[in-house]
Amino acid sequence: MSSTPLLSTGSTPEEQELARQGQAIRSVYVYEAPVRIWHWVNVFCIVTLCVTGYFIGSPLPTLPGEPSDHFLMGYIRFAHFTSGYVMAIALLGRIYWGFVGNHHAREMFSIPLHRKEYWTELLGMIKWYAFLSKRPGRYVGHNPLARAGMLLGFFVCGLFMICTGFALYGEGAGHGSWANTLFSSWVIPLFGQSQDVHTWHHFGMWAMIIFIIVHIYAAVREDIMGRQSIISTMVSGYRTFKD
């Protein structure tokens, strides 16, 4: 932290004392650049996928004129498939970083379910979020509830969307395409038929939207009530603890 003294002009002695105390606050480097870049690329892809996916499922009214002149659904589907590719490749990169990054980079993938303390702390966090108790403690990385939520809501759900999405994509790409061989060949029989995969892929979108709403609420709430930086930590990488 910078130790530059506060200039006295325009600030009272009390404010200067508060600023000096602020200079003693320590920040911890938590999220490395690849985790942060992945987070925001992923946000961009998922928002694009939700908007374009919604219009694939509920298409806009037919436009007048030659379809090839405006190509509206074509652009919507193109944006969907491009973001789908970027999301899948970025997730592979994030999994790689889970192996080579710092230990906070692994928190989303490895949950210590076998440890009693994990369950006690998880319950403590649930009570805190439900306004039933004081904050049980502060965490440098993700808290126990965030870890479970991110694993299920974003990692497992994200994988589900990628598998079902590429299964549908492989149908269009045709037999012999990599997507058809790797995904359509087992995903479509697993769900029954193509329309079932569409329906589950569509449900998956709403499940993710619910997780995203809860996630943003929790991040903003914790930023205000948790006495520590949360949102800026996903931008700068540093967690700052207040008093």
Q: Which spans of this chain sit near ligand HEM (rule: CB under 6 A)? A: 35, 39, 42-43, 46-47, 49-50, 53-54, 56-57, 77, 80-81, 84, 87-88, 107-108, 142, 146, 150, 154, 161-162, 165-166, 168-169, 198, 201-202, 205, 208, 212, 215-216, 219, 230-231, 233-234
CA–CA dist 46, 84 (Å, integer): 8
Of 169, 207, 208, residue with least CA distance to 188: 169
In the complex with ligand HEM, which residue's Cβ is closer, 128 or 169? 169
Q: How far is the CB of 17 from ligand HEM (least distance, A)?
A: 30
Token pair of 91 as six digits? 């997730």
In the complex with ligand HEM, which residue's Cβ is closer, 16 or 199? 199
Q: How far is the CB of 94 from ligand HEM (least distance, A)?
A: 6
In the complex with ligand HEM, which residue's Cβ is closer, 35 or 125? 35
In the complex with ligand HEM, which residue's Cβ is closer, 77 or 127? 77
Beta bridge partners of 29: 238
CA–CA dist 182, 71 (Å, integer): 29
Cβ atoms < 10 Å from Cβ of 21: 10
Q: How far is the CB of 93 from ligand HEM (least distance, A)?
A: 11
Q: Are 136 and 120 in contact (CB under 8 A)?
A: no
DSSP string for 143-161: -HHHHHHHIIIIIIHHHHH
Residue 38's alpha-carbon distances to 47, 72, 100, 188, 201, in angstroms, are 14, 29, 15, 29, 23
Q: How far is the CB of 51 from ligand HEM (least distance, A)?
A: 9
Rg (CA), the chain: 23
Q: How far is the CB of 148 from ligand HEM (least distance, A)?
A: 12
Q: Are 223 and 231 in contact (CB under 8 A)?
A: yes
Helix pair 33-57, 194-225: axis angle to 10 deg: 130
In the complex with ligand HEM, which residue's Cβ is closer, 16 or 54? 54
In the complex with ligand HEM, which residue's Cβ is closer, 5 or 71? 71
Q: With 0-12 CB in 10 A as exposed, 13-18 as middle and 19+ as buried, what is 166?
A: buried
Q: How far is the CB of 115 from ligand HEM (least distance, A)?
A: 19
In the complex with ligand HEM, which residue's Cβ is closer, 150 or 187? 150
Q: How far is the CB of 63 from ligand HEM (least distance, A)?
A: 17
